[in-house]
């Protein structure tokens, strides 16, 4: 059985707002600007024409239609989770809303008499109802809508999309599982460049990246905001994460290790001795990260993945202090070289694993460890550092950030 699920609000607003009703439309001042309002009959005629074209193309009849109609406060459920949801949208002119209601009543009455069904769910947006129906109805479902968000339903083999007069069977935005696409659309903004995202625009986003850098911004968003949840963005919180986690923990670990190798091992990867139990404990900890990260990213929970990485970074920093290679330099140079090799190898594996989160800084760390470009994949995690490899002069990759004046 084939059903046509119509996003009714999308259908009717599109037909009411597109084109110009030269016979019964009128110009009206609204919020300080002139707008043109088409008549209710214009919306009815255009909607019927579009629906008839769709039905004929798909060899369907009116009784195959399910109209999904929003009633009441359709945004209430989402606003209960996020109070600012669509609050800044410009209010439509009362005459336009009146015409919408008239056209809605006429279309539902007309197609209802021809066997069409209409459904609604109070306090729920239409696309949520459509997603519910697409998942639970048997047979083939064709969704009538221009809403790009609904394209994610095309991951199902029994769902297609009728969009702007074309039948679409695959996601026009790419062949991927949309579960893993995260959009920080409510973070910052400066204009109304993107429909549905008030005050979101590229300028302030670019300013944020310029202020903190790509890696610190990416790290903060991925570590601080759990996937699927709203987050609290504050500049002080970015500074805290950037300085404590990146500069102090990760950056200080790498800088101490590379600097000691430069000073005490002639700038070359040191020769390790026979590994002891303490060495194996640290190497096992970093070596066991990849399966855990894959599990967390499959959720997806990138904040948990980063927590796992930082557990090993914390362990490595404590291990440096416990082994004290600066003391071993005088008392046991061979053991110092083994300790520094274990630490350098730990930093290498950490840098490979942090590439998806912080590509720039991770790449710089791998450069300083002389890791070839083709040896930076997860598959190469087992390719340990070769003793004697010449290393470039160490440089810090996570600068400390200060509050803007």
Write the pLDDT tens digit of every residue in 234-256. 888 899 999 999 999 999 999 99
**Locate tokens 């102090």: which residue?**
248
| Cα–Cα distance measured from residue 85 to residue 69, given in angstroms and rounded to the nearest whole number | 20
In the chain, the domains with their CATH numbers are: 2-173 (3.40.50.1010), 234-380 (1.10.730.10)
Find how far residue 89's CA is from the centre of its chain: 23
264 pLDDT band, cuts 50/70/90, is very high
- Say yes or no to pLDDT of 193 above 60: no
pLDDT at 285 over 60: yes
Asked whether residue 271 carries a pLDDT value surpassing 80, the answer given is yes
Tens of pLDDT, residue by residue over 29-87, are: 988 888 999 999 999 999 999 999 999 999 999 999 999 998 767 666 666 655 665 66
pLDDT attached to residue 196: 52
pTM here is 0.59
141-163 pLDDT tens trace: 999 999 888 888 888 889 999 98
> Of 20-29, 145-154, 333-342, which gets the smallest average pLDDT?
145-154
The pLDDT, as a whole number, for residue 45 is: 96
Distances (CA, A) of 164 to 110, 145, 266: 23, 8, 67
pLDDT > 90 in the chain, percent: 66
- pLDDT for the residue numbered 80: 64
Asked if residue 186 has pLDDT above 70, the reply is no
370-388: pLDDT as tens digits: 999 999 999 999 999 999 9
348 pLDDT band, cuts 50/70/90, is very high
What average pLDDT does range 349-363 have in this prediction? Answer: 97
Q: What integer pLDDT is reported at residue 185 of this predicted model?
A: 46
- pLDDT number for residue 12: 95
Greatest Cα pair distance in the chain: 97
The answer to whether 202 touches 193, Cβ cutoff 8 Å, is: yes
Closest CA to 144 of 62, 252, 27: 62
Sheet of 140-144, strands arranged across? 117-119, 65-68, 2-7, 140-144, 159-163, 166-168
> What confidence tier does 189 reach under pLDDT thresholds 50, 70, 90?
very low
Q: Which two tokens stand for residue 379?
A: 């598959």
Answer whether residue 297 shows pLDDT above 60: yes
């Amino acid at each position: 059985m084939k059903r046509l699920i119509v996003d009714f609000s999308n259908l009717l607003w599109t037909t009411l707002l597109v084109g110009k009703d030269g016979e019964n439309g009128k110009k009206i001042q609204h919020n300080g600007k002139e707008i043109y309002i088409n008549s209710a009959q214009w919306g009815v005629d255009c909607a019927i024409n579009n629906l008839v074209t769709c039905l004929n193309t798909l060899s369907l009849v009116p009784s195959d239609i399910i109209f999904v109609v929003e009633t009441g406060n359709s945004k209430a459920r989402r606003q209960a989770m996020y109070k600012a949801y669509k609050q800044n949208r410009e209010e439509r002119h009362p005459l336009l809303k009146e015409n919408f209601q008239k056209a809605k009543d006429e279309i539902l009455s007309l197609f209802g008499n021809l066997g069409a069904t209409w459904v609604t769910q109070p306090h729920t947006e239409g696309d949520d109802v459509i997603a519910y129906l697409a998942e639970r109805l048997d047979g083939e479902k064709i969704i009538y809508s221009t809403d790009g968000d609904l394209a994610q339903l095309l991951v199902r083999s029994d769902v297609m999309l009728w969009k702007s007069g074309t039948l679409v069977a695959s996601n026009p935005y790419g062949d991927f599982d949309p579960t893993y696409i995260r959009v920080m659309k409510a973070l910052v903004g400066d204009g109304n460049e993107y429909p549905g995202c008030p005050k979101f625009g590229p300028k302030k986003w670019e300013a944020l990246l310029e202020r903190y850098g790509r890696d610190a911004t990416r790290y903060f968003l991925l570590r601080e905001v759990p996937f699927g949840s709203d987050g609290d963005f504050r500049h002080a919180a970015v500074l805290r994460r950037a300085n404590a986690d990146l500069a102090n923990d990760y950056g200080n670990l790498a800088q101490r290790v590379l600097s000691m190798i430069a000073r005490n091992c002639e700038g070359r990867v040191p020769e390790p001795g026979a590994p002891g139990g303490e060495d194996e404990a640290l190497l096992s900890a970093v070596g066991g990260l990849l399966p855990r990260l894959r599990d967390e990213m499959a959720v997806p929970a990138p904040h948990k993945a980063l927590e796992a990485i930082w557990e090993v970074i914390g362990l490595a920093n404590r291990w440096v202090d416990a082994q004290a290679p600066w003391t071993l330099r005088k008392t046991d140079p061979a053991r110092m070289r083994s300790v520094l090799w274990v630490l350098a190898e730990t930093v290498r594996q950490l840098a490979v694993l942090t590439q998806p989160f912080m590509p720039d800084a991770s790449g710089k760390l791998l450069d300083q460890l002389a890791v070839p470009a083709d040896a930076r994949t997860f598959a190469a995690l087992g390719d340990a550092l070769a003793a004697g490899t010449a290393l470039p002069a160490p440089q810090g990759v996570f600068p400390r950030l200060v509050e803007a004046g």
